[in-house]
Amino acid sequence: MSAPRVLAVAPGSPALRAGVEVGDEVLAVDGETPRDIIRWTWLTDEPDPTLDIRRGGLDLTLDVEKAAGEPLGIDVHSALFDQLRTCDNHCEFCFIYQLPPGLRKSLYLKDDDYRLSFLYGNFTTLTRFTEADLERVITEGLSPLNVSIHATEPATRNEMLRNRRGGPTLRWLRALLDHGVEVHGQVVCCPGLNDGAILDDTLAGVLDRFPELASLCVVPLGISKYNTEARMRPTTQAEAAAVVDCVEDWQAVYQTVLGHRLVQASDEYYLLAKRPFPEAETYEGFAMHEDGVGMARTFELEFNGTTENVTSPQAGFFAWADGSPAGARYEAAGDYAAPAEGYRAVRVTGGAGPAPVGGGGVAVALKPRRSAPVGILTGTAGALIVGPLVAAFGRPDVRVIAVENQFFGGTTSVTGLLVGEDVARALAAEPAGHRYLLPDVCLSGDRFLDGTTVADLPRPVEIIPTDGAALRRAIQES
């Protein structure tokens, strides 16, 4: 277990007054060694904590004067101080197995840690969950959690996870629900494996065994060109339509029995099936927005100015691997703020008037004119959503540039997985002097998943938040 290392001390904070310095290692808080940012928050929320510090090889004790609930004023280096609980499943559809070589090491690490489910919205299978974990979740109020279900029939779930504990460990889901923990479920649907009659059986099993689930999303597997699993293949239009029909049939059943629809198919299924997206009220508050359920409809509402509830962008598959302070959960027990080092850095948005960056690795001295034509960079799936909205906006000087994801290949089409190499290729074919808008969802700080940065792009780009309202504002600036 590593000790929390101090990255920053807030000016005028209790920690600064007590003498805490950047680089200090906090060995204990009131005699307890915190194992993660969750426990750290609980301990430092108390009044007048005593910190055991190691500084340059010397051990010190600092008494901090602060009120209960007053922020300590320390940013630490990681969300987890003990060992990350890795995943011991071997799912054929796991995208980590489909990554190209040469990426950052953190992207190849599979987690199955309920703490990252609470902090970042990761999905856990519960195959490594224990009685001690259940006690902690209940005691510290670690809710909501996200659980990957995939199938409720034990043998099928074993096969999906390629883990003989797969089926039996759904008992932990029952235990969480019994103790009032809010749980959101997910089914990754693989054609020929857990769709069709098995999906129908899974949704029946949810109603029978887990009706207290807060929500349930059904999403298609993603396939990159590096996939080596013979049974994993793209979903056809007919298969996507069958999944949508199945989900909508069960929505009616759930509505009758439970009083709400419970299950939703992801936006990608509607795109694959070439079906219109459901109306906003169908999504019942967009509980699974971060998992690509209802994102198209909320983006439309934001773009058209018919909602004030601007959504955050989808965190994406690698949301936890690089960390996201903005993605932390804020609960009554305290603010579980996820630090930047080792986790996703704050996205570069540039505020209300983003300055162009990029253009061959040097600072851009000549910004494109605000009246210049506008090109909106997005993934090929995003273009299907943004394109009609921009066309209806009635601005012939604004166009959508659909960037093909050749880096991952396969069925990869979401904007969050765009890399600098593909964006650069698309921009190189576009004219100079235009305004190019790039959504921040594909960046960690100013870095893409392939390690390139916005400064490496051949044209200046403006980084904007990934929501409809931000896009509309950026267009109206022209």
Q: What does the pLDDT look like over 10-22, one tens digit per residue?
A: 999 999 999 999 9
SS3 of the chain: helix, strand, coil, percent, to 5: 35, 15, 50
| Cβ neighbours of 180 (radius 10 Å) | 10
Q: Sheet harboring 374-379: ordered strands across? A: 357-358, 460-464, 435-439, 374-379, 398-403
User: Token pair of 167, please?
Assistant: 């089926």
pLDDT of residue 422: 97
Task: Report the C-alpha gap between 209 and 189 in whole angstroms.
Answer: 20
| Cβ neighbours of 30 (radius 10 Å) | 12
Task: Report the C-alpha gap between 323 and 37 in whole angstroms.
Answer: 13
pLDDT of residue 357: 64
Q: How far is CA 36 from the centre of its chain?
A: 20
User: Token pair of 415, please?
Assistant: 């904007």
Task: Note if the bond before 144 is cis, omega within 30 degrees.
Answer: yes
Three-state secondary-structure class, residue 57: coil
pLDDT of residue 366: 57
Q: Which residue has the tokens 């508050």?
A: 285
Three-state secondary-structure class, residue 37: helix
Task: Report the C-alpha gap between 35 and 83 in whole angstroms.
Answer: 9
The pLDDT tens digits of the residues spanning 151-199 come to 999 999 999 999 999 999 999 999 999 999 999 999 999 999 999 999 9
Task: Give me the DSSP letters along 380-444.
Answer: HHHHHHHHHHHHHHT-TTEEEEEEP-TTT-TT---GGG--HHHHHHHHHTSPTTSEEEEEGGG-B
pLDDT of residue 355: 54
Among 438, 434, 440, CA closest to 423: 438
Task: Map out the domains of the chain with their CATH numbers.
Answer: 6-76 (2.30.42.10), 95-275 (3.80.30), 357-476 (no CATH)
pLDDT of residue 467: 92
Mean pLDDT of the chain: 88
Task: Report the C-alpha gap between 307 and 259 in whole angstroms.
Answer: 25
Q: Which residue has the tokens 């919205």?
A: 121
Looking at residue 445, the DSSP 8-state letter turns out to be T
Task: Report the C-alpha gap between 382 and 107 in whole angstroms.
Answer: 23
pLDDT of residue 2: 84
Among 79, 99, 70, CA closest to 36: 79
Beta-bridge partner residues of 395: none
Looking at residue 11, the DSSP 8-state letter turns out to be T
Task: Report the C-alpha gap between 458 and 449 in whole angstroms.
Answer: 18
Write out residues in the chain with pLDDT < 50, as ranges: 313-353, 361-365
Q: What predicted TM-score, i.e. pTM, was given to this entire model?
A: 0.87
Task: Could you list the beta-strand ranges (E) of 281-329.
Answer: none
User: Token pair of 182, please?
Assistant: 């809010």
Three-state secondary-structure class, residue 215: strand
